[in-house]
């Protein structure tokens, strides 16, 4: 969200620089920021990894990955080399003080070469169990002692329940001030997710309708076509509730349901989002079945290819009870949303990749029109987040012809018609972190509230391994029970393919 470029010399320290995230997302993002002139003129990336390596080999490794994963990977070799010349590799043992001493002297010598204390950005692209050791050592060696210049970015999962999240926050607060801590949720960096804010509060015409008086229900879907791929070992015991609902989907819910912030300052926006999380009605243990559905995929066919069931993926137990799908219904206890159901669903190996928000408006109170065989479609606003990036408004119009009957139609704003080169989520987020803008990062209270919402569900599910898994086919839209969850209220998941309306005409 920040338009400001940090011009101070900057040193970025990546813990876990040889991992998958660094390879696919972090180096490509820094590379693109470099091409867009969003990096300081003087910057260094210190890549930390366990293996023995040297600058020359590590730089070639980064360049090869940039060619594959950066949206500007086809830039000239010269350019790639120029970017990579800013990377230094250090062999690092997270538990060894000697490694932090070496890092400390590297940081100090860079400061000397810049003739000024550089800004420092520590990126923890490592498993959660290492956070505490790293944070303690950063503290011990005074690596992030300047609260105005030094920041730390932490990847999810941020804890595994509310208690552990509070502990983690307390532990981090011994070394860092809250304004130095950037808890990342990459969905908040997506262009179309940020556009929700622009769309809602940059237009006068939707806001008066954005409440319980006009909206029937809201659906948020984040469906993935991929399975757990080679992350079975990580995913086991985590599952879709903690991997997706606790963070990405609840954040989209916040953007959709929040009140207008007093200003666009980080805290004003985050206050309004925290209000949403606080107002989510907490489910009681004996209500969990009523409000939630969990699923796990069987084998099935996706794009004409047979794919294995979850229990046959690498690293997954043959009797695993980890959920790969969740659907649930939320209510928000506040003035704006009282009584409006928010349906959230997410799953792996679903029919197609699709993230969207569907806002279904109430039907007209009375109508004398004939709707013919197509029936009446309630007005809907569909915000497609990915891979389609558009906003559609669906409404009824007169069917051409002599009789006065109606048919559904839609108006579409296509995001790609504005630009085909949108920044990747990590570019936006890293650029903000470099500029010291935490708006799109999670504050401690947001994380804790989000865990508070789902803790009871994970507790009930953990103690009851009686899920009838696997219960949905790969390539389908999830378990039948998810349809029943909505049908009880006379609602249905709205199909959201490109032809939503055309199919009905």
Catalytic annotation, residues: 248
Q: Which is nearer to ligand BG6, 119 or 243 (CB)?
A: 243
- Which token pair is 484? 């029943």
Q: Which two tokens stand for residue 276?
A: 């949403």
Phi, psi of 326 (to 5 degrees): -140, 135
Contact with ligand BG6 (CB under 6 A): which of 119, 150, 224, 455?
A: 224
List the interface residues with ligand BG6, window 277-336 (CB under 6 A).
none
Q: For ligand BG6, which is the closer residue by CB, 243 or 449?
A: 243
Evaluated on CA atoms 105, 57, 92, 152, the torsion sign reads positive
d(C-alpha 447, C-alpha 157), whole Å: 10
Site size for ligand BG6 (CB under 6 A):
2
Give least dist CB 348 to ligand BG6, A.
Answer: 7
Name the nearest CA neighbour of 435 among 4, 121, 29. 4
Q: Which is nearer to ligand BG6, 243 or 448 (CB)?
A: 243
The SS3 call for residue 396 is strand
Q: Smallest distance, Å, CB 226 to ligand BG6?
A: 7
- Of the candidates 353, 351, 354, the residue with the CA atom closest to the CA atom of residue 302: 351
- Give the nearest distance from C-beta 361 to ligand BG6 in angstroms: 27
387: left (phi over 0), alpha (psi -120 to 50) or beta: alpha
> Rounded CA gap, 102 and 86, in Å?
18
- Tokens describing residue 268: 């004003």
x/- track of binding to ligand BG6 for residues 428-457 (CB under 6 A): ------------------------------
Q: Does 243 bind ligand BG6 (CB under 6 A)?
A: yes
Smallest separation, CB 20 to ligand BG6 (Å):
11
Task: Kindly tell me which of 231 and 272 has the beta carbon lying closer to ligand BG6.
Answer: 231
Q: Kindly report the CA angle at 127 between 122 and 133, in degrees rounded to 5?
A: 60
Q: Which of 361, 357, 358 is nearest to 377 (CA)?
A: 361
Of the pair 218, 429, the CB lying nearest ligand BG6 is at: 429
**Cis ω on the peptide bond leading into residue 387 (within 30° of 0)?**
yes
Residue 148, strand partner residues? none
CA 41, distance to chain mean position in Å, is 30
CA distances, 335 to each of 212, 255, 339, 393 (Å): 8, 17, 10, 25
Closer residue to ligand BG6, CB minimum distance, 175 or 247: 247
The residue among 243 and 427 lying less far from ligand BG6, judged by its C-beta, is: 243
Q: Are 274 and 453 a contacting pair, CB within 8 Å?
A: no
Pairing of strands 406-414, 119-124: unpaired
Angstrom distance (rounded) from CA 272 to CA 278: 10
**Using an 8 Å Cβ cutoff, are 360 and 216 in contact?**
yes
Output phi, psi for 285, to 5 deg: -50, -40
Cα gap 17→155, rounded to integer Å: 13
β-partners of residue 122 are 13, 152
Question: Interface residues with ligand BG6 (CB under 6 A)?
Answer: 224, 243
């Amino acid at each position: 969200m920040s338009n400001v470029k940090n011009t101070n010399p900057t040193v970025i320290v990546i813990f876990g620089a040889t991992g998958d995230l660094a390879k696919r997302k972090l180096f490509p993002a820094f590379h693109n920021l470099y091409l867009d002139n969003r990096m300081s003129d003087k910057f260094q990336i210190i890549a930390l990894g366990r293996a023995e390596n040297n600058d020359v080999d590590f730089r070639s490794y980064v360049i090869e990955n940039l060619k594959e994963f950066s949206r500007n990977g086809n830039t000239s070799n010269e350019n790639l080399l120029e970017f990579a010349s800013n990377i230094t590799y250090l062999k690092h043992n997270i538990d060894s003080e000697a490694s932090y001493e070496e890092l400390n002297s590297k940081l100090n010598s860079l400061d000397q070469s810049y003739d000024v204390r550089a800004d420092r950005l520590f990126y923890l692209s490592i498993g959660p169990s290492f956070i505490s050791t790293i944070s303690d050592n950063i503290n011990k060696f005074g690596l992030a002692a300047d609260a105005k210049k030094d920041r730390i970015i932490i990847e999810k999962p941020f804890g595994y329940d509310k208690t552990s999240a509070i502990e983690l926050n307390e532990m981090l607060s011994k070394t860092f001030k809250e304004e130095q801590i950037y808890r990342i949720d990459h969905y908040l960096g997506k262009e179309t997710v940020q556009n929700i804010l622009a769309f809602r509060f940059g237009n006068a015409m939707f806001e008066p309708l954005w409440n319980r008086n006009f909206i029937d229900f809201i659906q948020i879907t984040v469906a993935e076509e991929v399975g757990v791929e080679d992350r079975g070992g990580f995913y086991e015991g985590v599952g879709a509730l903690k991997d997706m609902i606790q963070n990405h989907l609840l954040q989209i819910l916040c953007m959709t349901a929040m009140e207008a912030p007093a200003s666009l300052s980080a805290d004003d926006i985050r206050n309004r989002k925290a209000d949403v999380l606080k107002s989510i009605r907490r489910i009681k243990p004996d209500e969990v079945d009523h409000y939630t559905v969990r699923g796990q995929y069987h084998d099935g066919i996706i794009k004409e290819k047979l794919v294995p069931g979850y229990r046959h993926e690498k690293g997954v137990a043959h009797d695993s009870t980890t959920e790969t799908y969740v659907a649930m219904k939320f209510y928000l206890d506040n003035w704006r949303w009282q009584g409006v159901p928010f349906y959230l669903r997410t799953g792996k190996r679903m029919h197609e990749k699709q993230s969207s928000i569907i806002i279904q408006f109430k039907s007209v109170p009375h109508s004398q029109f004939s709707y013919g065989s197509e029936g009446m479609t309630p007005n809907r606003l569909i915000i497609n987040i990915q891979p389609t990036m558009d906003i559609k408004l669906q409404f009824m119009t007169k069917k051409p012809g002599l009789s006065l009957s109606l048919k559904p139609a839609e108006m579409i704003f296509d995001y790609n018609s504005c630009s085909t080169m949108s920044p990747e989520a990590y570019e936006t987020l890293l650029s903000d972190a470099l500029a010291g803008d935490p708006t799109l990062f999670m504050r401690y209270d947001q994380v804790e509230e989000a865990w508070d919402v789902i803790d009871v569900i994970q507790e009930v599910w953990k103690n009851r391994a009686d899920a009838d898994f696997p219960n949905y086919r790969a390539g389908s839209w999830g378990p039948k029970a998810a349809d029943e969850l909505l049908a009880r209220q006379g609602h249905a998941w709205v199909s959201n393919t490109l032809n939503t309306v055309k199919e009905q005409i």
